[in-house]
Amino acid sequence: MVVGVPVGRVAAVLRYPVKSMAAESVADVDVSWHGLAGDRRWAFVRPDLSGNGFPWLTLRQRNDLNDYQPGWADPDRPDASSVLVRTPAGAQFDVTSPDLAAELGAGVRVMKVNRGTFDTMPLSLITTRTVEQLGMLLGRELSALRFRPNLVIEPFSAAAFPEDEWVGRDLMVGTTAIRIDARDQRCVVVNVDPVTGRRDPKVLSAISAHRESCLGVYGSTLRPGRVAVGDDVVLQS
């Protein structure tokens, strides 16, 4: 029996087979020490930057990466199957195709990273209320996809930014135990609209001005398990 206080429910489970490309929404997924199965296991490397601390081709360089839609050929066995990427023009390539790399830029190449290409930690969470609150500050509705989380949580708390209260605590989500390690410090990627690709610097400016540049939280796996849409999120005693 799980002992603790229910603080929310999983509204969406998202993984990113290719770093900085569109999210793949799943109903449920295994969670290992390296995050969601199949999350950020492939990435594209910019020319002549393989030895750089951050060589990845991301939304910082190309606003349109959200228009590339990757998916695992076998969603239930992602790390044992291939990734197929549908381009904005509707063509479909295996992620390893030289034609796909060439479309993304001269000298760009793909790399498989078995443990995932995470900027900070392997799990990221954000609540629907946090997204709503930032939208209110900006005077318009925002999509949680802009913040590229793994888990979108519908909170039970009336707090404006409820996940802040979970930092330093443990959560049970489905059969997975997660430690919430830190608030998520944001970068210019949040300025990119996931639908239109347009940049709006007011988004990061609002997070900087009102939230000390942080929105949502990072976590790590304490006990591997499985999470699913609809699972309760339980704050451990």
User: What's the pTM value of the predicted model, to 2 decimals?
Assistant: 0.94
Tell me: the pLDDT tens digits for 166-216? 999 999 999 999 999 999 999 999 999 999 999 999 999 999 999 999 999
Dihedral in degrees, nearest 10, Cα atoms 102, 103, 106, 107:
-50
Q: Which two tokens stand for residue 50?
A: 């393989």
Backbone angles phi, psi at 223, to 5 degrees: -145, 120
> For residue range 78-95, what is the model confidence (pLDDT) as tens digits?
877 899 999 999 999 999
Extract the tokens encoding 66.
């959200």
- Ordered domains of the chain (ranges, CATH): 4-236 (2.40.33.20)
